[in-house]
């Protein structure tokens, strides 16, 4: 039996751009929906703004190979250390693996990445429209507005398929904004889609709309609010290979004058102003 494996033969030092984190807690907060709290002993970057995301390396063993993007749902800096919250839905291999993490598991990630939500001008009212697991970045935005003393201007709308899949917003004591929920089957909150909640909300020229969720939902929001509010912002999704702008894999179609072009969701986005977007921007990734 020979000792030592080929792939470990070079005991090279290991420069890495990834940040080392440790799982604080990892809990299933609704059916298939997990809340992951990460502790970072050394936070060396600037504080993430709401809407930014991180690329999480699910495994160091090449399976799955690529990192997985997740919005930052919450972030707290305590001196040099930091705490980050991620809320993820189990949809495949990577998120399946992530459910096995428990307190103390090491996690490596790259970020914060991308451009977050532009903050609203004073005096404007914010409507945050979250479809399903589009909620996390909007939670970060709500928390940020609230801690900036603007909580009163915020209305968070949150829709899910049913009660089981829904994160109970009442369990988030630091949220402090008004919210309304709905489910497709009426098992919790109003029955219907989150766009129905939006239809019932007052949108005016002083309103800013922030949306994140499945592509069809965001398309519907875009259709409804375009031209009827001050501005609207959408956090888009796309398949990503790198997450930091070098592969051009995350392209999405946007307006460029009378023409169109591709931009990178990870670098030019993930948040885009509604003015840039067309129906084709909301194609399912």
Partner 1 sequence: MTGKNRKAVPDLTVDLGRGLVLKNPVMTASGTFGYGEEASAYLDLSELGAVVVKGISEEPRRGNPPPRVVETPAGMLNSIGLQNVGVKAFLAEKLPFLLDRGATVVVNVLGSTVEEYLRVTERLSTAPVIGGIEVNISCPNVKEGGVQFGMCPDMAAGLVASLRSATDLHLMVKLSPNSGDIPGMARAVEEAGADSVSLINTITGMDIDIRTRRPALGGVFGGLSGPAIRPVALRMVYEAFGAVRIPVVGIGGIADPEHAVKFIIAGSLAVQVGTAFFLDPLTPLRVIKGIEEYLSREGMLSLADARGSLVVGDPG
Ligand X SMILES: Cc1cc2nc3c(=O)[nH]c(=O)nc-3n(C[C@H](O)[C@H](O)[C@H](O)COP(=O)(O)O)c2cc1C
Q: Which of 19, 36, 70, 82 binds ligand FAD (CB under 6 A)?
A: 70
Give which of 141, 147, 206 is closest to 179, Cα–Cα.
Answer: 141
Residues 56, 72 contacting (CB under 8 angstroms): no
Look at strands 251-256 and 259-264 and give their pairing.
antiparallel
Interatomic CA distance for residues 71 and 8, integer angstroms: 34
List the x/- string, 240-279, binding to ligand X by CB under 6 A: -------x-x------------------------------
Q: Is 242 or 254 the residue whose CB approaches ligand X more closely?
A: 242
Decide if residue 254 touches ligand FES (CB under 6 A): no
Decide if residue 66 touches ligand X (CB under 6 A): no
Decide if residue 8 touches its own copies (CB under 8 A): yes
| Number of residues forming the site for ligand FAD (CB under 6 A) | 27
Contacts of its own copies in 79-118 (CB under 8 A): 89, 91-93
Q: Which of 48, 71, 112, 120 binds ligand FAD (CB under 6 A)?
A: 71
Question: What is each CA distance from 155 to 129, 181, 199, in whole angstroms?
Answer: 9, 11, 13
| Number of residues forming the site for ligand FES (CB under 6 A) | 13
215 contact, one of ligand X, partner 1, ligand FAD, none, CB 5-8 Å limit per kind: none
List the x/- string, 2-21, binding to ligand FAD by CB under 6 A: x--xx---------------
List the x/- string, 22-41, binding to its own copies by CB under 8 A: ----------x---------
243, two tokens: 């997450």
> DSSP letter string over 99-168?
TT--TT-EEEEEEEESB-PPPPPTT-EEEEEEEGGGHHHHHHHHHHHHHTT-GGGEEEEEEESSGGG---
Which of the 8 DSSP states describes residue 279? G
122 contact, one of ligand FES, partner 1, ligand FAD, none, CB 5-8 Å limit per kind: none
């Amino acid at each position: 039996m020979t000792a030592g494996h080929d792939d470990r033969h070079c005991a090279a030092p290991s420069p890495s751009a990834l940040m080392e984190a440790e799982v604080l807690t990892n809990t299933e907060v609704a059916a298939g929906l997990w809340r992951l709290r990460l502790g970072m002993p050394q936070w060396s970057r600037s504080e993430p703004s709401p809407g930014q995301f991180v690329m999480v390396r699910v495994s160091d063993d090449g399976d799955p190979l690529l990192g997985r993007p997740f919005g930052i749902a919450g972030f707290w800096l305590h001196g040099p250390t930091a705490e980050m919250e991620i809320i993820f839905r189990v949809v495949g291999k990577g998120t399946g693996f992530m459910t096995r993490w428990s307190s103390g598991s090491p996690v490596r990630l790259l970020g914060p990445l991308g451009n977050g939500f532009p903050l609203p001008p004073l005096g404007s009212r914010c409507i945050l429209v979250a479809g399903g697991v589009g909620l996390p970045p909007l939670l970060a935005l709500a928390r940020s507005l609230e801690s900036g003393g603007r909580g009163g201007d915020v209305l968070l709308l949150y829709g899910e398929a049913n009660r089981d899949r829904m994160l109970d917003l009442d369990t988030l004591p630091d949220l402090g904004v008004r919210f309304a929920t709905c489910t497709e089957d009426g098992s919790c909150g109003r029955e219907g889609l989150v766009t129905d909640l939006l239809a019932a909300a007052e949108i005016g020229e002083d309103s800013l709309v922030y949306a994140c969720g499945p592509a069809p939902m965001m398309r519907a929001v875009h259709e409804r609010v375009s031209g009827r509010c001050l501005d609207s912002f959408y956090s888009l999704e796309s398949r990503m290979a790198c997450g930091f702008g070098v592969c051009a894999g995350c392209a999405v179609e946007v307006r460029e004058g009378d023409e169109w072009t591709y931009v990178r969701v990870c670098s030019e986005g993930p948040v885009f102003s509604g003015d840039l977007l067309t129906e084709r921007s909301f194609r399912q990734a």
